[in-house]
Amino acid sequence: MSILELPPWILSLILAIFGLTLGSFCNVLIHRLPQEEPSERNVVTKPSHCPHCKAQIRWYHNIPLFSWIALRGKCASCAWRIPVRYPLVELLGGLILGGSVWFFPFGTLIWGKAVICGFALLVLFFTDLTEYMLPDFVQYPLMVLGVLFTLPQLFWPEATTQLSLPGWNHLVADTWYNGLQFAPCWSLLGAAVTWKASLIGVVAGYGGPYLFERLYVLVRNLIVVKAFGGEAIEAGMGMGDFKMLAWLGAFWGWPIMLGIMAFGALLMLSVALPMLLMNRADGKTLFPFGCAMALATPAVVFYGAPVWQAYMGLMQ
């Protein structure tokens, strides 16, 4: 029996353990990538250390999730209170990897792409939430990788993978299909992301919002500022937001990218508008749009197409 033929629940438990470890590495990225000093951004050779006292963390104090519980959320050297974000990210890492086999056929291209996307969104959500930063170190490689994911489908379209389902049933999945297909807990199909849709997603994901943002800043500074006073602004969105849309477009194609941008903007507006109305924010307040896009991505990837089809059906 190969690992692909294990029952989904056993496979899920095994992967969840590795997911906790990957979540721990995500914590390293979240903490170090926004640092200004190059030595502090080293995530390869620099050992784990306490952000407060800089003491090196012993291996038995670095076991994902369990060490935080055993230490009662405090550093073993200086008793600095470790933010709850650390076990939360580790737990989410375990859920992403452990839960992935229920929604994507394990061992296929779409499963690997979804897992990489999930962990990337996990890192970017918290770097944007805590530091208002979406690191290039993460985003530039993802743009290239998203396009590369479209190539195996061109060369090996007939390859299949046999998977186990609950109840000792089996499922034959297309190994290199670059779109949603049947999985143990998922039955809605999705169109394949072609190399053309991926490239358009990169260009439109970066270029479209950039042009819109420049136009918004121009209109606001020429009309709103002169009519109502106030200070001119230099930017309405961060450059990292454009790059995030670009790699999401590369991963999921330009139609999904547009849906993520629209739903993300709606989520961001639902937070920003009440804060502005209650005078808890003003025109200079920064809002982490990357967080909104991270939350919007799974909703649009899974349900964007059926929701859009239902909406177009109502319009006819």
Domain ranges of the chain: 3-133+151-174, 195-315
pLDDT band at 178 (very low <50, low <70, confident <90, very high): very high
Name residue 62's amino acid: N
Q: Kindly tell me the sign of the dihedral angle through the C-alpha atoms of 310, 311, 312, 313.
A: positive
Task: Provide the percentage of residues in the chain whose pLDDT is more than 90.
Answer: 56
Task: Provide the percentage of residues in the chain whose pLDDT is more than 70.
Answer: 91
DSSP three-state, residue 49? strand
Q: Looking at the chain, how many residues does it have?
A: 316
- Nearest Cα to 139, choosing from 239, 266, 41, 20? 239
Q: What is the DSSP string of 125-166?
A: HHHHHHHS---HHHHHHHHHHHHHTTSHHHH-TT-EEEEEET
Q: What is the mean pLDDT of residues 194-211?
A: 90
Check if the beta carbon of residue 204 is closer than 8 Å to that of residue 257.
yes
Supply the pLDDT for residue 52: 82
Residues 6 or more apart from 8 whose CB is under 8 A from it? Answer: 101, 102, 106, 164, 165, 166, 184
Supply the pLDDT for residue 252: 97
- Nearest Cα to 19, choosing from 126, 111, 131, 98? 98
Distances (CA, A) of 202 to 57, 81, 110, 144, 206: 40, 41, 19, 9, 6
Q: What is the DSSP string of 156-202?
A: -TT-EEEEEETTTEEEEEETT--S---BTTB--------HHHHHHHH
Q: Provide the CA 104 distance to its chain's centre, in angstroms.
A: 16
Instruction: Locate 139 and state its tokens.
Output: 């985003």
Please give the biggest Cα pair distance in the chain: 72
12 CB-side CA count, 13 A = 17
Supply the pLDDT for residue 233: 58
Check if the beta carbon of residue 32 is closer than 8 Å to that of residue 126.
no
The model's pTM = 0.88
36 CB-side CA count, 13 A = 0
Q: What is the pLDDT of residues 82-123, one digit of tens each?
A: 899 999 999 999 999 999 999 999 999 999 999 999 999 999
Average pLDDT taken over every residue of the chain: 88
Residues 6 or more apart from 258 whose CB is under 8 A from it? Answer: 204
Q: What is the pLDDT of residues 234-293, one digit of tens each?
A: 665 668 888 999 999 999 999 999 999 999 999 999 988 888 788 787 766 778 999 999
